[in-house]
């Protein structure tokens, strides 16, 4: 397994060209957050915007609109019941994150199917949380797109059929090949399975073991792949690295590192990394 290095992250987070605008840095649709799990979609959307994605739209339950906008005025919203509005937005975006706080109701399943039907092969689709469980439960066919799954070990057990205790590199790799997707298997020292190679994160620790931490990573990966879309693998590896790098920094003087604290630090740490080679 290859270790993800700081040098790779420094190469990925380039200084921004001057003649650019918000459309130059990717457009992302974030789908999730039912009435119970509104916090998840606030974290995912925030992480994407603080990672530098040019334009983010959040499709969520309307009961989350006010709290989402109070925390994050930069995002636009779609009522998740308006499936046509989701389909229309899909035509405009570089990528989609689906699943954080989505739940597993009939509406959640219908929304996942709407996205699967309309997504194009050129687009990124990050599949997290409830969306992974919906695929596992309903054995859904996967669409043609740049697929990125971000399961924790139990979600990976449900999706892959491999019990947590038997999730070895070779068995995980086999299922990665079948799924034709990148797999970010989240745990202590997260592993990333791709067609070409397997990577391991050597950062992060138990101060990160708090609800919403994975929702945040999904948003960072969404923000990175849409923004650094020419180097998608490096974008995924870099987002995963930076998420734990920031947590470790905070963890030097905090017992627990909260997802919203990590999000707040992303722009500053990206600036540091973008200046490292200059
Ligand atoms: N603020 C919000 O709105 C939040 C909303 N959220 C949303 O909730 C939805 C459900 O997601 P979920 O992850 O909470 O539930 P689920 O998939 O059932 O997994 C938990 C089960 O798996 C087991 N387990 C074993 N290994 C594990 C591992 N390495 N990592 C983690 N778990 C592991 C674990 O074992 P146990 O804790 O019992 O020891 C337990 O039995 C999803 O949409 C998500 O986005 C959350 O993000 C929280 C904040
Ligand atoms: N002990 C730990 N060491 C390192 N990373 C951890 C640890 N516990 C949790 N994490 C990280 O926190 C995140 C948890 O993801 P997930 O379970 O999906 O959270 P949630 O769904 O609550 O947002 C993952 O990125 C995981 O690697
Ligand atoms: Mg999760």
Domain boundaries, the chain: 2-274
Across residues 34-41, what is the average pLDDT?
Answer: 98
Residue 163 near ligand 1, beta carbon < 6 Å: no
For the Cβ of 155 lying below 6 angstroms from any atom of ligand 2, the answer is no
Instruction: Summarize pLDDT for 214-250 with one digit per residue, the tens.
Output: 999 999 999 999 999 999 999 999 999 999 999 999 9
Nearest-CA residue for atom 12 of ligand 1: 129
**Nearest by Cα to 122 from 142, 138, 145, 100:** 145
Give the model's pLDDT for residue 152.
98
Distance 101 CA to ligand 1 centre (A): 10
End-to-end Cα separation, the chain, in angstroms: 30
State pTM to two decimals: 0.98
* Reported ipTM: 0.99
Phi, psi dihedrals of residue 198, rounded to the nearest 5° = -120, 140
Per-residue pLDDT tens over the stretch 165-221? 999 999 999 999 999 999 999 999 999 999 999 999 999 999 999 999 999 999 999
Q: Which of 265, 272, 275, 258 is nearest to 211 (CA)?
A: 258
Would you say 188 is a known binding-site residue?
Answer: yes
- State both tokens at 226: 């849409």
In the prediction, which pLDDT does 277 show? Answer: 72
Average of pLDDT values for 11-27?
Answer: 97
Ligand-binding site membership of 243 (annotated): no
Q: What is the pLDDT of residues 111-140, one digit of tens each?
A: 999 999 999 999 999 999 999 999 999 989
Question: What pLDDT does residue 260 have?
Answer: 98
Which of ligand 1's atoms lies nearest the C-alpha of 99?
43
How far apart are the C-alpha atoms of 58 and 37, rounded to whole Å? 14
Partnered with residue 135 across adjacent β-strands are: none
Residue 215 in marked binding region? yes
In ligand 2, the atom with minimum distance to the C-alpha of 243 is 25
- Nearest protein CA to atom 6 of ligand 1, as residue: 101
91 labelled ligand-binding? no
Look at ligand 1, atom 8, and give the residue with the nearest C-alpha.
101
The pick from 47, 102, 152 for probing ligand 2's pocket by mutation, whose C-beta has the most ligand atoms within 8 angstroms, reads 152
Indicate whether residue 214 lines ligand 2 (CB < 6 A).
yes
Distance CA 78, CA 269 (A): 31
Establish whether residue 129 lines the binding site of ligand 2, counting it when its CB lies within 6 angstroms of any ligand atom. yes
**Protein residues placing their CB within 5 Å of the ion ligand 3:** 129, 214
pLDDT of residue 23: 96
Residue 256 Cβ contacting ligand 2 at under 6 Å:
no
The answer, yes or no, to whether residue 278 has pLDDT greater than 90, is: no
For the residues of 120-164, what is the DSSP string, one character each?
-TTSEEEE-HHHHHHHHHHTPPPPSSEEEE--BHHHHHHHH---G
- At the second CATH level, the architecture of 2-274 is 3-Layer(aba) Sandwich (3.40)
Q: Is residue 214 a known part of a binding site?
A: yes
Mean residue pLDDT of the chain comes to 97
DSSP 8-state assignment for residue 62: G
**Percentage of residues in the chain with pLDDT exceeding 70?**
100
């Amino acid at each position: 397994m290859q270790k993800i290095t700081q040098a790779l992250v420094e190469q990925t987070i380039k200084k921004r060209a001057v003649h650019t605008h918000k459309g130059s840095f990717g457009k992302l649709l974030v789908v999730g957050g039912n009435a119970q799990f509104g916090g998840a979609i606030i974290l995912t959307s925030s992480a994407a915007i603080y990672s530098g994605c040019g334009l983010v739209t959040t499709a969520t339950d309307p009961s989350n609109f006010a709290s989402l906008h109070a925390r994050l005025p930069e995002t636009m919203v779609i009522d998740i019941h308006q499936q046509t509005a989701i389909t229309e937005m899909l035509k405009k975006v570089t990528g989609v994150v689906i699943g954080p706080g989505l739940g597993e109701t009939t509406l959640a399943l219908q929304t996942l199917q709407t996205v699967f039907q309309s997504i194009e092969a050129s687009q990124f689709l990050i599949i997290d949380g409830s969306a992974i469980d919906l695929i596992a439960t309903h054995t859904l066919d996967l669409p043609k797109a740049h697929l990125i799954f971000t399961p924790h070990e139990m979600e990976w057990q449900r999706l892959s059929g491999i019990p947590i205790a038997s999730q070895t590199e070779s068995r995980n790799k086999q299922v990665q090949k079948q799924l034709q997707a990148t797999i970010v298997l989240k745990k202590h020292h997260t592993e990333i399975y791709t067609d070409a190679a397997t990577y391991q994160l050597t950062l992060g620790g138990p101060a990160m073991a708090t609800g919403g931490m994975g929702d945040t990573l999904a948003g960072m990966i969404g923000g990175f792949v849409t923004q650094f879309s020419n180097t998608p693998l490096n974008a995924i590896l870099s987002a995963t690295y930076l998420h734990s790098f920031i947590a470790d920094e905070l963890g030097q003087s905090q017992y627990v590192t909260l997802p919203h604290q990590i999000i707040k630090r992303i722009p500053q740490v990206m600036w540091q990394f973008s200046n490292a080679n200059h």
